[in-house]
Amino acid sequence: MRRASIFILGWFAALAALGGCQSIAGIEDRTFQPQITGSAECEAYCDDIMSACSGANAMYPSRDACISVCGKLPDGEAALANSLQCRAAQAKLAVETGEPVTYCAAAGPYGAGTCGSTCKGYCSLLTAVCPGQLDNIKDCEASCQALSNANGYDLASLATGDTLECRVAAAVRATLDPAECANAAILPRDSSCQDPLTQPLNCDDYCRVTMVACQGNVAVYDDEAECKAVCAALETGTVGDTTENTAGCRLYHAYNAVADPAVHCNHAGPGGDGHCGQDSGASFGNCVSYCRLAKAACPADFDTAFTDDAACLTECASIDGHTADSKYAIASPTASGATVQCRLLHASRALAGDATECAAVFGGAPCQ
């Protein structure tokens, strides 16, 4: 009996020594991480979607992520959009039919128009997982319309890029890692869900965000066509611009306007309002913008009115509204009368194709 006890003690000592050798050898200790479990309904849903939707059709990076998201999905009938039950029904169809391309997107967190819009799925998940990212957003679903669509749900391509789907994928990861909330935010700032800062500005992106963020009393364009015409006439710039007199800088302020339109819509407009193209000495951002747009919109009239670009800038500097923070908006009182803002408004309309606006661009009625 004593020999058996000695043997057992020796066996444990050997194990302890082995552990010590592993530590000395630098062998990494491994900690068992138990798998996350959910309700019976979530377990069944994740069984189906993880087995039927894989590879390019995978909707979750892991089963743990699926279970975590499932617990945040709204309850409802299978026919009710943006519910767990709707997604579970789509996942089951993916299993039964063997057609992942048809059913997996709707079964996943995106909803994909079948189980609610992707914006609805995104906003409900962001509210549940990352509520702090919505502190300054009054209406998530309305603001979500400013985001571009990736036109696909391949997780491998959704790790980066300024798209709605990238943000949904980040919100999914945030259920396991709260640090991902920064990437899931609507405003793309220092996140993986933004385009490379050196990427040239795309006018479609600028105008989509601006037309969503700046409406009503703070609208800076009559319509999207006018916005695109102005954008094409501006220096393009990059998506990383924040102060330059470029369309890229205006996109930066348009995104900020999603959260604070009263402050940033003026800066996102055609003149830049001294924030995209800053005042410096005798050079004024609004004037640089005005002269560029006036020349592009009405070249013959420009040549008649001014001997050169410098003459335009000089005259502009003598007109009210040439300095920063003049608060440009279509509905603003400064958009009529003898102001730079009035001229900018009519230059924008002339760029959109209405040549009758050119007289006002150079001080004719109603910019007298």
Same domain as 347, residue 281: yes
State the Cα–Cα distance between residues 193 and 191, nearest whole angstrom.
5
Does 107 share its domain with 210?
A: no
pTM for the structure as a whole = 0.87
User: Are 165 and 311 members of one domain?
Assistant: no
For the segment 348-355, the average pLDDT, to the nearest whole number, is 98
Residue 26 binned pLDDT confidence (cut-offs 50, 70, 90): very low
Backbone φ, ψ for residue 238 (5° rounding): -125, 165
Is the alpha carbon torsion for 295, 224, 368, 261 positive or negative? Answer: negative
Q: Give residues with Cβ within 8 angstroms of 216, minimum separation 6.
A: 331
Nearest-angstrom CA–CA distance, 19 and 2: 26
Query: Which tens digits make up the pLDDT trace of 88-141?
Result: 999 999 999 999 999 999 999 999 999 999 999 999 999 999 999 999 999 999
DSSP 178-214: GGGHHHHSSS-SSSSSS--TTSBP-HHHHHHHHHHHS
159 and 240 assigned to the same domain: no
| Residue 212 shares a structural domain with residue 351 | yes
Same domain, 223 and 274: yes
If asked whether residues 85 and 219 sit together in one domain, one would say: no
Of 173, 163, 143, nearest to 65 (Cα)? Answer: 173
Query: Structural domain of residue 116, as residue ranges?
Result: 40-184
* Average pLDDT across the chain, whole number: 91
**Separation CA 94–CA 91 (nearest Å):** 5
